[in-house]
Every structure is written in C-alpha cells, then in structure tokens.
C-alpha cells in the first residue's frame, strides 16, 4: 500500500519462545483510517495493539509509523493514545484533571493545558462534567473521559482495546455512533479491537480478522461479509450456510453439494485450484418460493422446517434439505408464510453463492 501510515511487517510475538501469540502478521494502515482488529479471545488482536502502543516488545518483525521505526521507542515517546476496556481513570482526580494528566506528564506549557482540556471535553460532550469525579459518572461518561484523555495531546494514532465491552447494549450502540462521529471530526488514525462482529461492521473502514495469531483477511466490512476469503471469516462474521462441495463444471458454475445435488454458482472459480470447495449462502439471500411462482435461474429446494426464531423484523427458519441443515431469514412481511412444522419451497440466485477453497 503506497499511502501506508502505520506499517506492521511480519510481526511475531512469543512469550515462551515456542508458541507465537502473534504469528507473522503484516498490516498497512492508511492515515486517518478506522481499522478494526476482530477475532475471538486469544487470537492475538490485543497483543498486536499492545505492541503498537509499546507495552509489549516485538519478538520479530518491524513496526513503523509515518516512515520511522518504533523499535526501542518508549511508549510515552510514540505519541500514541490508548483507551482501555476498564477506562483506567484516576478515582481521586476530577474529569478535567484526569484529562489534563497526559499533558502534564509530557510537560506541556501551562497556558496550553486548560484550552486543550476544554476542547477535548467539548469534543466528547462532557464540558459540564469537568469537576465531577469518576464515581459520579455513568459508565458511558467514564468512557468518554478516557477517550478525551487519549485525544487531548493530539496523538498520531488512537488505540482502543474493547472499550465498550462493559456497557449495556443501548449504551454500547450510542458509544459506537459517538466514536465514529469523533473519528470523523478529528480524522485520527484509529485501531479498534473487538470480538463483536456487529461493532466491527458498523464502525470500520476496514476489518482485519484474526485467528490463532494470524490474519485471515483484511477488507472493508461489506466485502468481508459478502466475499470472505476463508471458511473461518465467513463463519465468524454473520450467520451462514456452509456446504462442502465439488466443482463439476467451472464454465457453467456447477457444484455438487451432498443431498442438495447440483447447484449453480455465478463465480465458481475465484482463483480456486482443485475441485473441493466450500459454498457459502447467507440466510437473508434465501427466499421463499410461493406456489405458481416462476423459478427460472434459481437454485430451488424443498425444506423441512424444524423450528424458527422470531426477531420482530424477521424470522430465522431452521430446517433441513435432505441431510443438510439450512437457515433462512424471512422478512417480517413474509413471516405469516412460515409454519412451525412442515415444508417450505426455498431458493437462491447463483450470484448469491460464494465459493471458498477447502483446505
């Protein structure tokens, strides 16, 4: 990437010299980009964040910011702000003194401290809470204080380590909007760590999916969702129907899928070598077929319904086609057509089949 600002090159981290917590990852981050590191617990995403911050040393590889190496640069000299999941506020300090702390540690001139603190608190909407102590603030307000403290010295990069994990659902969604708003206003390069796929999809310019210390894919959210590079990514992000398949005819897009028989995919190749593949169809891309409806060009099947989950705006129908499990998400307007037990005719377009290599 020619416009890379923060570069991780073949980065390795091992704590015992035998097992790599981070195993040779490379990421180029553009200036001003919002990149999310997404993955399950223990996948290496937080360790990566700590190496960028300087709180963990690299075992191997290189880390550069704006063309300069960060090797042997102490954390406080990297000009990187960090927000932790537990906020890490000083309980004996007010909001404004918490926010001013990094300025004093960096020996900013006194006449700059108050204007910067006021600007940071205004940015996060806490100007009226300047003299409050952390115990007098809600969880969301404490998170905003931590964010203001990380931004007050105008860092080159902002790091956020699962900052919304301790908040309830409604407050978490509000803070997602706030963090994106602040990112848009400030334009700071941001690296965000989470295991929440919805958070990643909502907030990110790009997502890097971690698994077992490696990066499976780096891509914009919609590309990641509709065109996952690996089985792990497709299974981890969103609901999915995965079928093991064999390529019968590449030119025609024909795949053989167990008890489904032959199905058609619009793009069966995708650079795939060999005939064994995974076929992915998202539940929302499967539609109900009504009696008498024309089905030319669709992959159609009779589905035995085993149960359903109602979400208000949609119904997730769970059933089987032959021996294969199938999940279909039906919009609310069609929910009346879904029965608890019985048969449904369902289908999907060839272009809704995404083909992934099998190991």
Q: Same domain for 207 and 284?
A: no
Q: Same domain for 72 and 203?
A: yes
Q: Same domain for 252 and 201?
A: no
Q: Same domain for 210 and 252?
A: no
Q: Same domain for 67 and 180?
A: yes
Cα 111 from Cα 139, distance rounded (Å): 31
Q: Same domain for 217 and 249?
A: no
CA nearest to 30, candidates 156, 181, 179: 156
Asked whether 344 and 268 are in contact (CB, 8 A), the reply is no
Across 31-105, the runs of DSSP E, i.e. the strands, are 34-38, 60-65, 68-69, 80-83
Q: Same domain for 219 and 256?
A: no
Domain that holds residue 16: 4-232
Cα 318 from Cα 335, distance rounded (Å): 13
Report mean pLDDT in 10-residue bins for the chain, 359 residues: 86 94 97 97 96 96 96 92 89 96 93 95 95 93 94 96 84 89 94 94 96 97 94 94 88 84 75 74 93 88 89 88 92 65 87 88
- Of 207, 232, 257, the residue at which a domain comes to its end is 232
Q: Same domain for 228 and 344?
A: no
Asked whether 93 and 129 are in contact (CB, 8 A), the reply is no
Q: Which residues of 25-60 are buried (b: 16+ CB within 10 A; e: fewer)?
A: bebbbbeebbbbbbbeeebbbbbbbbbbbbebebee
Query: What is the domain count for the chain?
Result: 2
Asked whether 314 and 329 are in contact (CB, 8 A), the reply is yes
- Of 199, 232, 265, the residue at which a domain comes to its end is 232
pLDDT value at position 271? 47
pLDDT value at position 340? 55
Q: How many helices (H) and strands (E) does the chain have?
A: 8, 20
Contact residues for 18 (Cβ-Cβ < 8 A; gap 6+)? none
Q: Same domain for 84 and 159?
A: yes
pLDDT value at position 338? 65
- Of 216, 232, 248, the residue at which a domain comes to its end is 232
Q: Same domain for 188 and 295?
A: no
Tell me if residue 197 falls in helix, strand or coil.
helix
pLDDT value at position 73? 94
Which tokens belong to 163?
Answer: 């900052």
Asked whether 36 and 193 are in contact (CB, 8 A), the reply is yes
- Determine phi and psi for 97, rounding to 5 degrees: -75, -30
Q: Same domain for 217 and 294?
A: no
- Tell me the pTM: 0.91
Here the CATH number for the domain that contains residue 305 is 2.40.50.140
Cα 235 from Cα 243, distance rounded (Å): 12
Q: Same domain for 75 and 127?
A: yes
Here the CATH number for the domain that contains residue 17 is 3.40.50.300
């Amino acid at each position: 990437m020619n416009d890379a600002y923060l570069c991780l090159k073949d980065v390795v981290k091992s704590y015992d010299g035998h097992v790599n917590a981070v195993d040779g990852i490379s990421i180029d981050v553009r200036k001003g980009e919002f990149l999310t590191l997404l993955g399950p617990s223990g996948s290496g995403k937080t360790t990566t964040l700590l190496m960028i911050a300087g709180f963990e040393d690299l075992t191997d590889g290189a880390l550069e910011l704006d063309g300069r190496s960060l090797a042997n640069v102490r954390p406080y000299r990297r000009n990187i702000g960090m927000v932790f999941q537990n906020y890490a506020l000083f309980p004996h300090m007010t909001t404004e003194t918490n926010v001013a702390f990094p300025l004093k540690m960096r020996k900013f001139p006194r006449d700059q401290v108050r204007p910067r603190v006021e600007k940071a608190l205004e940015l996060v909407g806490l100007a009226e809470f300047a003299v409050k102590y952390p115990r007098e603030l809600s969880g969301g307000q404490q998170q905003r204080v931590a964010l203001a403290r990380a931004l007050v010295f105008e860092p080159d990069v902002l790091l956020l380590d699962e900052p919304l994990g301790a908040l309830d659902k409604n407050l978490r969604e509000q803070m997602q909007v706030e963090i994106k708003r602040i990112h848009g206003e400030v334009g700071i390069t941001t690296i965000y760590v989470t295991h929440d796929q919805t958070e990643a999809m909502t907030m990110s310019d790009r997502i890097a999916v971690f698994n077992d210390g490696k990066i499976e894919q780096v891509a914009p959210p919609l590309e990641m969702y509709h065109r996952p590079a690996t089985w792990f990514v497709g299974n981890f992000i969103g609901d999915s129907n995965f079928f093991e398949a064999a390529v019968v005819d590449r030119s025609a897009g024909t795949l053989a899928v167990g008890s489904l028989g032959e199905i058609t995919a619009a793009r069966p190749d995708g650079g795939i070598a060999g005939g064994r593949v995974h076929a992915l169809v998202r539940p929302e891309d499967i539609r109900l077929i009504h009696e008498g409806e024309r089905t030319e060009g669709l992959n159609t099947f009779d589905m035995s319904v085993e149960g359903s989950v109602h979400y208000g705006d949609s119904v997730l129908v769970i059933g089987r086609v032959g021996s294969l499990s199938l999940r279909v998400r039906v919009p609310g307007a069609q929910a009346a057509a879904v029965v608890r037990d019985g048969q449904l005719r369902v289908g999907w377009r060839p272009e809704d089949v995404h083909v992934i290599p099998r190991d």
